[in-house]
Amino acid sequence: MTLLPQEIIRLKRDGGTLAPELIQAFIEGLTAGRVSEGQAAAFAMAVFFRGMSLDERVALTRAMMSSGEVLAWDLPGPVLDKHSTGGVGDAVSLALGPAVAACGGYVPMISGRGLGHTGGTLDKFDSIPGYATQPDIATFRRVTREVGCAIIGQTADLAPADKRLYSIRDVTATVESIDLITASILSKKLAAGLQGLVMDVKFGTGAFMSDTDGARDLARSLVSVANGAGLPTSALLTDMNEPLASAAGNAVEMAYVVDYLTGRRREPRFHEVTVALAGEMLALGGLALDPADGARRIEDAVESGRACETFSAMVMALGGPSDFVAGAERYLPKAPVIRAVEPEGEGVVEAIATRDVGVAVVALGGGRTRPEDAIDHAVGLTDLARVGAAVGSGRPLGIVHARDEAGAEAAARALRAAYRLGAAPGERPLVLERIGA
């Protein structure tokens, strides 16, 4: 079956179902440049409004996966990964990858940069001097094989169709399509040659999917399509109604993770999500009897220091300082203005507009408003007060790390506006539910 791109768009626009060969032809045309940006935008909008069946989602994911190189691994353990839908203070990948590797898994993690109000894993690693976030495929393979974990960015060779389609979606108001989100995430993961994937799907005031029903729908789509495409996958729904870590930014989150791995500070919320996701990965890869057994193994890897040793080895193998963990304070950039943010009164934190906290970091220069924007890795927020914490005299809402006094003052105003003081809220589960195949 051969149709012009505009006829494929017309068929989807009118509510038709696209055969796998039509989807494959459209994506091949997109990769080769035969499909214009206008046609790609029209296709994305048609999918946004008309949706896709499970078979169409699988076909789109496979087509985007095969648009570039697809890695194959010959390793003595399972090749595993985790992906988060994004949040504020979500530095879990930085600790989770090395912890899973310390337990016998291999984690070739292809991560992204910041998007909107959410922080990007690659931007955090860019705060380490010398760390290569965009190595060649040979280096990626070598570090994964020798260390067990390599956290890098998407290369031009892996799922190039996704890279092109995503840039178009970003400027055509079609980012939120569950069909397109699913294909975008999973095409990169399938191209990485994984044997198991765990999805961390966020819900709440700091998540892209703020309501639990939307997050659940996305999780089910990701799990069903990934398994339909041959990649064993499960998902956890996790709470993002407050920052996951008490730090939000790039260098400040990197410092937070170093403290976590070395045992200087381990906050319960961050630890719980890290252990739950990593334990799920070990179970999926056959390295644990079940997720609970996997969680115990991850706990041991973190407590024993093996996860920290793997993290240090990965940083060094990808060009960072050999003594980064011991000397993080010396290596990470520091903002010239550091100021505590006092609340307007005293009370208990009842709720946090978490997205606004992330936007405050972007406004400081720690994120992007345009793809070409440079990142200020030093700025951010630390010691953020938790929901249920008493704040007031002697306990600020957080600490601002800014480039100048004006930026610090603007961030302080934004932080005060994001926090609501009132009655102590009831306990809510951090991991709401698990969604399996």
**For residues 191 and 110, what is the distance between their CA atoms, to the nearest angstrom?**
10
Per annotation, catalytic residue among 61, 67, 93, 121: 121
State which H helix or E strand residue 40 sits in.
helix 37-50
Is 82 among the catalytic positions? yes
How far is Cα 184 from Cα 301, in angstroms, rounded to an integer?
A: 32
Find the catalytic residue in 83, 141, 216, 355. 83
Active-site residue, 169 included: yes
Q: Which of 67, 182, 184, 187 is catalytic?
A: 184
Catalytic residue among 12, 57, 82, 269: 82
Which residue, chain included where needed, has tokens 């009132």?
A: 422
Tell me, yes or no, if 93 is annotated catalytic: no
Q: What is the DSSP letter of 153?
A: E
The two structure tokens encoding residue 210: 């703020």
- DSSP character at residue 374: P
82: left (phi over 0), alpha (psi -120 to 50) or beta: beta
Question: Would you call 83 a catalytic residue per the annotation?
Answer: yes
Amino acid at residue number 420? R
Q: Identify the active-site residue in 189, 202, 355, 401.
A: 189
Beta carbons within 10 angstroms of residue 372's beta carbon: 5
Cα separation, 194 vs 281, in Å, equals: 12
Q: Out of 62, 113, 164, 169, pick the active-site residue.
A: 169
Catalytic residue among 57, 62, 113, 188: 188
Task: Give the DSSP H/E element, type plus range, for residue 307.
Answer: helix 306-317
CB within 8 A of 432, min separation 6: which ones? 203, 212, 236, 237, 238, 239
Residue 189 annotated in active site: yes
- Of the candidates 31, 61, 67, 84, the residue annotated as catalytic is 84
SS3 call for 285: coil
**Residue the block writes with tokens 């198991």:** 196
- Indicate if 334 belongs to the active site: no
Cα(259)–Cα(135) distance, rounded to whole angstroms? 27
Burial 271-287, CB ≥16 within 10 A → b, else e: bbbbbbbbbbbbbbbeb
| Annotation says 121 is catalytic | yes
Kindly state the helix (H) or strand (E) to which residue 277 belongs, with its residue range. Answer: helix 268-284
User: So which residues are the catalytic ones?
Assistant: 81-84, 121, 169, 184, 188-189
